[in-house]
Amino acid sequence: MNLHIYQGGTSDIGNLYELLVDFSIFLRAGENFTMSLETLLEEKDSFSFLLATCNGIIVGFAIYTLSFFSWSGKTLFLDDLYVIEEFRGKKIGTALFERLVIIASEKGCTKIRWQVPEWNDKAISFYQKRGGIMKSKDYTYDLFI
C-alpha cells in the first residue's frame, strides 16, 4: 500500500467535495448537506484540508481551520476526518490525524478540537486511542443566516 498524505489545494476541491457528499451520507445527514461545489470553491480561503491517497486513489480527507478559544488560545479545529469505507482499518485515519498534530504544533496551537456524533462508537474509540478526551456533552447550536 502506497499511502500519501498531502495538503489540498484549489485543484483538489472537486475531489474534496465528492468525499464530503459521501461523508454526509455516512453520517446519516445527507439531507442536511447544503454545501455546493461552487460555494466550496468560493470559500476555499476559509479552511484548509489534507487528502489521503492510496496507490493513487483519493481515499480520505481531513478539513480544518485555525480558531481561537478564550480559555486556551490558538486551536486547530478539525471539522471532519473521513476515510472511505473500503480503506478503513489501514491506518489512513491515523496518518491524517498524526499530520494534523504536526500542523497544530507548527502553527503554535495549544490543542486540537473536534466533535463526534454520540452514535459513532468507532470514531469515539479512534480518537480516544489517540489521547482524545471528551470534555463535555455540551449542545451544539447553529444559527443559519
Catalytic residue among 6, 127, 139, 141: 127
Chain-centroid distance of CA 73 in Å reads 20
What whole-number distance in Å separates Cα of residue 16 and Cα of residue 125?
A: 25
What whole-number distance in Å separates Cα of residue 131 and Cα of residue 127?
A: 7
What whole-number distance in Å separates Cα of residue 48 and Cα of residue 16?
A: 11
Whether 64 is a known active-site residue: answer no
What whole-number distance in Å separates Cα of residue 20 and Cα of residue 58?
A: 12
Residue with cell 480544518: 64
The residues carrying an active-site annotation are 127
